[in-house]
Amino acid sequence: MENVQNRTASANVGSWFSRGWEMISADLSTFILLALIYLAVIAVASSTVVGGFLVSGPLTVGFMRILFDRMRGKPIVIGDLARGFDDFLAAVLSSIVISAFTALGTLFCIIPGLVAAAWFILTPAVIAEKHLDFWQSMEASRLAVQGHTFEVVVFIILLAVVNLAGALACFVGLLVTVPLSFAATACAYDDLVGINRAE
Kindly write down the DSSP assignment for every residue of the chain, as one continuous string.
------TT----HHHHHHHHHHHHHTTHHHHHHHHHHHHHHHHHHTTSHHHHHHHHHHHHHHHHHHHHHHHTTPPP-GGGGGGGGGGHHHHHHHHHHHHHHHHHHHHTTSHHHHHHHHHTTTHHHHHHHH---HHHHHHHHHHHHGGGHHHHHHHHHHHHHHHHHHHHTTTTTHHHHHHHHHHHHHHHHHHHT---TT-
Domain ranges of the chain: 13-192
The Cα–Cα gap between 153 and 177 comes to 18
Question: Would you say residue 1 has pLDDT above 60?
Answer: no
pLDDT for res 126: 98
The per-residue pLDDT for 3 is: 53
Gap between the Cα atoms of 34 and 117, Å rounded: 24
**pLDDT band of 108, cuts 50, 70, 90:** confident
In this structure, are residues 173 and 137 in contact, taking their beta carbons and an 8 Å threshold? no
Residue 31's Cβ-count burial label (10 Å; 0-12, 13-18, 19+) is buried
Phi, psi of 5 (to 5 degrees): -85, 130
Q: What is the pLDDT of residue 197?
A: 76
User: Distance between CA 37 and CA 84 in Å, rounded?
Assistant: 14
| Category of 73 on φ-ψ map: left (φ > 0), alpha (ψ -120 to 50) or beta | left
pLDDT at 196 over 90: no
What is the per-residue pLDDT for 55? 96
Confidence at residue 125, expressed as pLDDT on a 0 to 100 scale: 98
Degrees (nearest 5) of the Cα angle 114, 169, 102?
Answer: 15
